[in-house]
Amino acid sequence: MTSRVGERRLVLRVLAYWDEVREDRAFARLDQIDPCCLGEDWLSCAVLKIEAPIHDSIFTHVGDSFVEQNLSDATFYLADMTSPLLKHAFGYMQQVIDRRVPMSFGGQIRLFHRAALVRSIALPLADDNETITHILAAANYRFRPVEGTIVPSDPADEVMLE
Amino acid sequence: MKPPATYEVQSYAGSQWKIEAFFDDHDLALAEARRMNESRRHFAVRVVEECFDASTETAITRTVYRSTPIDEHNKKRLEATAQTRKQVNLERAQRRPPARRPDHRHTTMLASAKLSHLLVKGAAIFVVGFGAILSIRFLAGQ
């Protein structure tokens, strides 16, 4: 837990938690992911249960940060994904399944008709430490400054979303 | 323009490097590698950068970070040893009186005295030898 304290970047906090709970195993189990331990970061997380074919995979949790997503349906499939933030977070899901390691990517999306910088991480979960059954993803964003406004002195700060 | 790079955070276990995480950002990869190193659960941690040049279709890989708990330990020990050595030298310098500088005048005088002493010795040997030869000749003539 101590390694996560003071870490300002969401993706590193979630990765550190995943690494902490898995201990010496290759993957963390779904039942090890405790929303209480993740605190507010849980609102920026989503969990997908992997099904075959992959488009039939079902979301078991979508945090409030993915506000653009319509969650009215009782069963929410990967194919129903409309939120650009969610699409970014699960856009490289197949690579995570193939490589069997956590992966983090940054990028640009449009949210609420505005350009935003996004950073996400996708982490594999496996109950038997072999077959990946779920993907835990976390993502956050920051709107790109409108032209003419003050730009952060360090461009890296802009991408290193907290 | 530099091609986009990806970063693999790897840990060393069972005599091979294993990929632990994958990033498209240098700073994030380094931060994760440092966190892993601090956790002391891994024998060694490194970050491998891979740049793929689409024009030449070649991938260039290089290690941009590498650390082990042993490296950390050795670094700390070296620092401690250097500090101790510095302190010892400082204390030694305070304890000893300042070394006397050699007197050039005194050295020159000493050298000339030695030379004259040598000359006197040489002259004495010459006189004694010459005297001995003369004496032998004189005795042989009688």
Our separate counts of H helices and E strands in chain B read 3, 4
- Check pLDDT > 60 for residue A153: no
Query: Tell me: the pLDDT tens digits for B6-36?
Result: 999 999 988 899 999 999 999 999 999 999 9
Q: Does A106 contact chain B (CB < 8 Å)?
A: yes
Write the ipTM: 0.82
pLDDT class of A36 with cuts at 50, 70, 90: very high
- What amino acid is encoded at A65 in this protein? S
**pLDDT of the residue at B45:** 94
Euclidean distance between CA atoms A14 and A30, whole angstroms: 14
B6, B25, B36: best to mutate for the A interface, most A CBs within 10 A? B25
Residues in chain B, how many?
142
Of A86 and B96, more confident: A86
Q: Name the 3-class secondary structure at A38.
A: helix
Residues of A in contact with B21 (CB under 8 A): 15, 101-104
Once rounded to an integer, what is the mean pLDDT over residues B47-57? 89
- In this complex, do A104 and B36 lie within 8 Å of one another by their Cβ atoms? no
**pLDDT of the residue at A29:** 96
Of B61 and B142, more confident: B61
Euclidean distance between CA atoms B11 and B62, whole angstroms: 15
Alpha helices, DSSP H only, in A23-146? 35-38, 84-90, 93-99
- Check pLDDT > 90 for residue B105: no
C-alpha closest to that of B62 among B94, B100, B29: B29
pLDDT class of A118 with cuts at 50, 70, 90: very high
Let me know: does A13 contact B32? Beta carbons within 8 Å: no
- Check pLDDT > 80 for residue A159: no
Tokens of A150: 């003050």
Chains A–B, number of C-beta pairs less than 8 Å apart: 45
Backbone φ, ψ for residue A161 (5° rounding)? -65, 140
Euclidean distance between CA atoms A46 and A63, whole angstroms: 6
Of B64 and A24, more confident: B64
Alpha helices, DSSP H only, in B25-103? 26-39, 69-95
The CA distance from A22 to the nearest CA of chain B, in Å, is 12
C-alpha closest to that of A9 among A44, A56, A48: A44
- In this complex, do A102 and B22 lie within 8 Å of one another by their Cβ atoms? yes
Residues of B in contact with A103 (CB under 8 A): 21-23
A1, A12, A100, A158: best to mutate for the B interface, most B CBs within 10 A? A12
Alpha helices, DSSP H only, in A82-152? 84-90, 93-99
CA distances for B86 relative to A113, B73, B75, B81, B83, angstroms: 64, 20, 17, 9, 5
Residues in chain A, how many?
162
How many alpha carbons lie under 13 Å from residue B34 in its C-beta half-sphere?
10
Of A77 and A16, more confident: A16
Q: Does B13 contact chain A (CB < 8 Å)?
A: no
A5, A10, A11, A95: best to mutate for the B interface, most B CBs within 10 A? A11
Once rounded to an integer, what is the mean pLDDT over residues B95-102? 70
- In this complex, do A102 and B39 lie within 8 Å of one another by their Cβ atoms? no
Strand order in the sheet with A45-49: A58-62, A45-49, A134-143, A114-125, A103-111, B16-23, B5-13, B45-53, B58-67
- In this complex, do A104 and B35 lie within 8 Å of one another by their Cβ atoms? no
Residues of B in contact with A105 (CB under 8 A): 23-24
Once rounded to an integer, what is the mean pLDDT over residues B69-74? 74
pLDDT class of B2 with cuts at 50, 70, 90: low
Q: What is the mean pLDDT of chain A?
A: 85
Chain centroid offset of residue A34 CA: 15
Once rounded to an integer, what is the mean pLDDT over residues B45-64? 90
The pTM for the full model equals 0.70
Residues of B in contact with A12 (CB under 8 A): 28, 31-32, 35
B:26-65 residues touching chain A, CB 8 A cutoff: 27-28, 31-32, 35-36, 38-39, 41
**pLDDT of the residue at B55:** 83
